[in-house]
């Protein structure tokens, strides 16, 4: 821990010279689980983001190396690394955004819910520390099962008296990223011009891409629509199988996490018209207290939860079909905090 602090101090001195040339608000982003498969490339992408002035990398081990490595990149963001529980407070202090990719990933044959036992406890303890050290921060949850870990975070914050539903997000951006890629490929479009809203949750049938609202609009029906919907829902499993026991999506998740964090930073900085799909406390589907939909982001986090728009019969059936699974995943998260 001591040597890590020294690395941190050295890095800070080295970077402070460059800081003087940067303008705009000071923004500290903390990544918890920063030495992992997602954490490392996500840390790199956040270091490259000009809106970040301080990048705080935390993990139970391995962060000195990651922080030293990333800190050599030629961007002004100051980088510090912290390892172990004793330094978690320092890692979080003053954070504007906390991104959480801490926990175990899936292996072939596992569902995201199979991760619950281990990840629920990790998320609970990290969120308790957030409520103590940076209760005002936006929290972007990547750790699976997101459908349950976000309700866990909410309950921990409620218990601590720090819960602000505008500031807690489940990161579902990877589902949007996948839907865009698959739709663009199928319809021969440039993926940079494409957008596809994805609503619901972040596991199997709870992931619902709204291809009827995709832009640019192209006809998509019948088996083709079904295949693209299923591929989006199973995109994570496609990667888990291809990696054959060596983890789940890490690089595309880091990319997606960096897109979402950048949107949060833009919102915090007062930029207008920042809209992302994300899993938040929501009342648009009365029986589902957490739901992912388009959300407008601003200086306080969620500024507006947007409705579903006009959905097709196909989408409406899929929405009905997900309700019981999503509701029970939410309840499982709530119960975990109250029973433990
Ligand atoms: P990984 O095992 O490579 O990395 C996880 C990191 O978390 C490790 O470095 C580990 O030391 C750290 N960690 C464990 N306990 C911790 C604690 N108490 N505090 C801080 N750090 C801790 O796993 P990977 O591939 O990076 O995945 C991380 C999580 O992200 C998994 O739960 C996975 O299911 C989830 N995920 C979510 C996606 C999404 O779309 N939301 C997509 C892909 C993965």
Sign, CA dihedral 282-286-291-297, equals: negative
pLDDT at 18 over 70: no
pLDDT at 115 over 70: yes
325 or 19, greater pLDDT: 325
Which pLDDT band holds residue 227 (cuts at 50, 70, 90)? very high
Give pLDDT, residue 131: 98
Q: Which residues pair with 330 in a beta bridge?
A: none
**Residue range 252-270: average pLDDT?**
98
> Do residues 80 and 93 lie in contact, with contact meaning Cβ atoms separated by under 8 Å?
no
Give pLDDT, residue 7: 47
pLDDT at 257 over 60: yes
**Residue range 164-170: average pLDDT?**
98
Q: In angstroms, what is the span from residue 247 Cα to ligand 1's centroid?
A: 10
Name the residue with the closest Cα to ligand 1, atom 39: 142
**CA 149 – CA 263 distance, rounded (Å):** 21
Least reliable range by pLDDT among 9-18, 147-156, 226-235? 9-18
**Residue range 329-336: average pLDDT?**
98
Q: Which residues pair with 295 in a beta bridge?
A: 276, 305
Taking the CA of residue 171 as reference, the ligand 1 atom at the shortest distance is: 41
pLDDT at 4 over 70: no
Question: Within a 10 A sphere around the Cβ of 66, how many other Cβ atoms?
Answer: 22
**Residue range 230-255: average pLDDT?**
96
Give pLDDT, residue 340: 81
Q: Which residues pair with 200 in a beta bridge?
A: 207, 292
Ligand 1 pocket: which of 38, 140, 279 to mutate (most atoms <8 Å of CB)?
A: 38
Q: Is 103 assigned to a binding site?
A: no
Active site residues: 202
pLDDT at 14 over 90: no
**CA 300 – CA 114 distance, rounded (Å):** 34
Which pLDDT band holds residue 196 (cuts at 50, 70, 90)? very high
Taking the CA of residue 170 as reference, the ligand 1 atom at the shortest distance is: 41
**CA 225 – CA 223 distance, rounded (Å):** 5
**Given the structure tokens 């409620």, which residue do they identify?**
158
> Do residues 22 and 46 lie in contact, with contact meaning Cβ atoms separated by under 8 Å?
no
**Residue range 75-94: average pLDDT?**
98
Average pLDDT of the chain is 94
Q: Is 296 assigned to a binding site?
A: no
pLDDT at 22 over 60: no
In this prediction the pTM is: 0.94
**CA 17 – CA 2 distance, rounded (Å):** 24
Which pLDDT band holds residue 91 (cuts at 50, 70, 90)? very high
Q: Over pLDDT 70: what percentage of the chain?
A: 94
**Of how many residues is the chain composed?**
340
pLDDT at 8 over 50: no
Give pLDDT, residue 19: 42
Q: Between β-strands 97-100 and 138-141, what pairing exists: parallel, antiparallel or unpaired?
A: parallel
Q: 57 — phi, psi (to 5°)?
A: -110, 120
**Residue range 155-179: average pLDDT?**
98
Rg (CA), the chain: 19
């Amino acid at each position: 821990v001591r040597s890590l602090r020294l690395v941190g101090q050295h890095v800070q001195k080295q970077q402070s010279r460059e800081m003087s040339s940067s303008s705009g608000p000071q923004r500290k982003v903390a990544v918890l689980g920063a030495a992992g498969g997602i954490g490392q490339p996500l840390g790199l992408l956040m270091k490259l983001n000009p809106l970040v002035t301080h990048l705080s990398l935390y993990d139970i081990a391995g962060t000195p190396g990651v922080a030293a490595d990333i800190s050599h990149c030629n961007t002004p963001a100051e980088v510090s690394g912290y390892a172990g529980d004793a330094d978690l407070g320092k890692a979080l202090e003053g954070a504007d955004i906390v991104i959480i990719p801490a926990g175990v990933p899936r292996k072939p044959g596992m569902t995201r819910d199979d991760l619950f036992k281990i990840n629920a406890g990790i998320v609970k303890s990290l969120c308790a520390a957030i409520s103590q050290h940076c209760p005002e921060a936006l929290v972007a949850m990547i750790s699976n099962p997101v459908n349950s870990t976000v309700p866990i975070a909410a309950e921990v914050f409620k218990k601590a008296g720090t819960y602000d539903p505008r500031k807690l997000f489940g990161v579902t951006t990877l589902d949007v990223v996948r839907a865009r890629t698959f739709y663009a490929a199928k319809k021969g479009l440039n993926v940079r011009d494409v957008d596809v809203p994805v609503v619901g949750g972040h596991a199997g049938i709870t992931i619902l891409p709204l291809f009827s609202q995709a832009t640019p609009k192209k006809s998509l029906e019948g088996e083709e629509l079904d295949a693209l919907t299923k591929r989006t829902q199973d995109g994570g499993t496609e990667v888990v199988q291809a990696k054959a026991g060596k983890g789940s999506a890490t690089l595309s998740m880091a990319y997606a996490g960096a897109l979402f964090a950048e949107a949060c930073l833009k919102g915090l900085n007062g930029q207008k018209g920042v809209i992302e799909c994300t899993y938040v406390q929501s009342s648009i589907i009365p029986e589902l207290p957490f739901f992912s939909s388009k959300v407008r982001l601003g200086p306080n986090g969620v500024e507006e939860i947007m409705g579903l728009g006009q959905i097709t019969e196909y989408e409406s059936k899929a929405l009905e079909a997900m309700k019981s699974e999503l509701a029970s995943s939410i309840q499982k998260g709530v119960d975990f905090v109250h029973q433990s």
